[in-house]
């Protein structure tokens, strides 16, 4: 027999109390700096990439066209040179884009008199104003104003000391809301190149990830017992991951150099090959080499995680298996592997995404030559080597979209393995 509870007390309080609201406010306050920073450096650039991908823009058009002016005095004013004149040299910074409604203003110094005024310019008090109209791309011109100076001029500021201000309206491709194009995408998807780049990326990513995982698993099994020097070996095996990529990449290049590399010298000494092999310069071999480098550099990471997981597996299970007469391989296959499956799948996806994103390694080893151009290197290649920022951004968009796809899979698996 229970007392009936009044209905308004049976439910927990709904909505936020003042305390909870204060807490939430504090939380947002604490997070705000990070949010702003991330928005500025991650979200904004990402939006910019999408924007630029639809713009016909090259490296050269990065700066919008602007009118440029240089001012100087020709002739000797102090000596009373009758032919002295004030000169403004004008030009359009862009070779092919127009600027409209250019105006120039400059302050006119005391004591300087113009004997004749350029028709485009008017002098109002101490301000010179010139209406210069529209300029074509590559426009150049001069304004010459013959001048004479009173003695008072030489006491005041020099005419060249005040900077003339010049303004004009130019169409900036980067920021304008028109001139969108699909040409960048057409260009990168055009021909077989894109598909070969995609193929190379997938080969590199799949084999690099799988190789690093398998090697990491092997290394973790080696170190999953305590012996003297275990800590030392563990530290040593992490070296490839911890060292700066630029240092180890160049070490590999030297080691496999076709002319003076030790690997080639050894192979020739052993009689395997009579001719030096250009490991990072031949077509299928270079891709295999960069994949090997990737495996070499990132097996430590998988090793670290797998080892951590292994050391948390209960040893009772193995003892029970020993009692039942399980052989060592059986123990690995039926006990260790299922326990490690969670971390292995998470590692695989994470490494897959990161390998997919990897730029430095291939860029340093081969520069994307000899059939090793992956998508990320292609961004650099299009934007900087071919000076086509728009096309580079288009490749970046493709990378980002694939990434979203991978992340969806990742989070699905991740939530399944949450209780790792």
For the segment 292-321, give every residue that binds another protein (CB under 8 A).
Answer: 296, 301, 304-305, 308
Structure tokens at 51: 């924007």
Residue with tokens 């900036």: 172
| Least gap, CB of 399 to another protein (angstroms) | 6
One of 198, 313, 346, 413 touching another protein (CB under 8 A): 346
Q: Which is nearer to another protein, 15 or 82 (CB)?
A: 15
CB of 66 to another protein, least distance (A): 12
In angstroms, what is the minimal distance from the CB of 150 to another protein?
40
In angstroms, what is the minimal distance from the CB of 315 to another protein?
17
383-388: long-range contacts (C-beta < 8 A, 24 or more apart)? 383/59, 384/59, 387/58, 387/59, 387/60, 388/58, 388/59, 388/184, 388/187
15-54 positions binding another protein, by CB under 8 A: 20, 23-24, 26-28, 30-31, 33-34, 37-38, 40-42, 44-46, 48-49, 52
The token pair that represents 200 in the structure block: 């190379």
Q: Which is nearer to another protein, 94 or 264 (CB)?
A: 264
Contact pick of 99, 188, 347, 370 for another protein (by CB under 8 A): 347
Q: Which helix (H) or strand (E) holds 356?
A: helix 337-357
Total of chain residues touching another protein, rule CB under 8 A = 94
For residue 159, give the DSSP letter.
G
Quick one: which of 68, 202, 265, 272 contacts another protein (CB under 8 A)? Answer: 265
Residue 16 Rama label (left phi>0; alpha psi -120 to 50; beta): beta
Q: Is 63 in the site for another protein (CB under 8 A)?
A: yes
Distance between CA atoms of residues 37 and 33, nearest Å: 6
CB-based burial label for 199 (10 Å; 0-12, 13-18, 19+): middle
Stretch that binds another protein, among 85-93, 160-168, 176-184, 349-357 (CB under 8 A): 349-357
Report how far Cα 21 is from the mean position of its chain's Cα atoms: 39
CA atoms within 13 A on the CB side of 55: 23
3-state secondary structure of 316: helix
Q: Nearer to another protein by C-beta: 115 or 312?
A: 312
CB of 335 to another protein, least distance (A): 14
Q: Which of residues 192-251 bind another protein (CB under 8 A)?
A: 218-219, 221-222, 231, 233-248, 250-251
Q: Which of 167, 262, 273, 311 binds another protein (CB under 8 A)?
A: 262
Cβ contacts of 120 within 8 Å, gap of 6 or more: 130, 131, 132, 133, 143
Nearer to another protein, 165 or 420 (CB): 420
């Amino acid at each position: 027999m229970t007392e009936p509870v009044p209905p308004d007390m049976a439910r927990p309080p709904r909505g936020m109390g003042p305390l909870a609201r204060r807490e939430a406010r504090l939380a947002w306050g604490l997070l705000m700096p990070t949010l702003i920073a991330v928005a500025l450096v991650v979200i904004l650039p990402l939006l910019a990439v999408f924007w630029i991908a639809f713009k016909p823009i090259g490296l050269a058009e990065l700066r919008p066209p602007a009118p440029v002016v240089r001012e100087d005095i020709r002739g000797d004013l102090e000596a009373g040179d009758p032919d002295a004149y004030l000169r403004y040299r004008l030009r359009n910074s862009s070779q092919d884009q127009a600027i409209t409604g250019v105006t120039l203003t400059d302050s006119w110094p005391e004591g300087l008199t113009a004997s004749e005024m350029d028709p485009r310019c008017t002098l109002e008090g101490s301000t010179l104003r010139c209406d210069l109209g529209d300029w074509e791309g590559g426009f150049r011109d001069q304004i010459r104003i013959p001048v004479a100076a009173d003695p008072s001029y030489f006491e005041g500021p020099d005419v060249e000391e005040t900077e003339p201000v010049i303004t004009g309206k130019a169409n900036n491709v980067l920021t304008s809301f028109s001139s969108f194009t699909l040409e960048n995408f057409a260009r990168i998807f055009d021909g077989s190149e894109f598909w070969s780049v995609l193929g190379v990326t997938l080969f590199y990513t799949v084999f690099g990830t799988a190789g690093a995982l398998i090697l990491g698993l092997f290394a973790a099994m080696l170190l999953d017992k305590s012996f003297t020097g275990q800590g030392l070996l563990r530290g040593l095996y992490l070296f490839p991951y911890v060292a700066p990529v630029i240092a180890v990449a160049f070490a590999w290049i030297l080691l496999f150099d076709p002319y003076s590399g030790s690997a080639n010298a050894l192979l020739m000494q052993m009689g395997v090959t009579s001719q030096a092999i250009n490991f990072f310069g031949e077509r299928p071999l270079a891709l295999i080499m960069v994949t090997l480098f990737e495996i070499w550099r990132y097996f430590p990471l998988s090793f670290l995680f797998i080892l951590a997981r292994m050391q948390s597996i209960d040893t009772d299970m193995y003892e029970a298996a020993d009692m039942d007469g399980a052989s060592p391989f059986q123990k690995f296959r039926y006990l260790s592997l299922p326990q490690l499956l969670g971390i292995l799948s998470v590692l695989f996806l994470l490494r897959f995404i990161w390998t997919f994103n990897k730029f430095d390694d291939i860029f340093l080893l081969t520069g994307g030559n000899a059939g090793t151009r992956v998508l990320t290197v292609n961004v650099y290649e299009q934007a900087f080597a071919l000076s086509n920022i728009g096309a580079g951004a288009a490749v970046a968009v493709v990378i980002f979209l694939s990434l979203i796809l991978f992340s969806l899979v990742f989070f699905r698996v991740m939530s399944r393995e949450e209780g790792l």
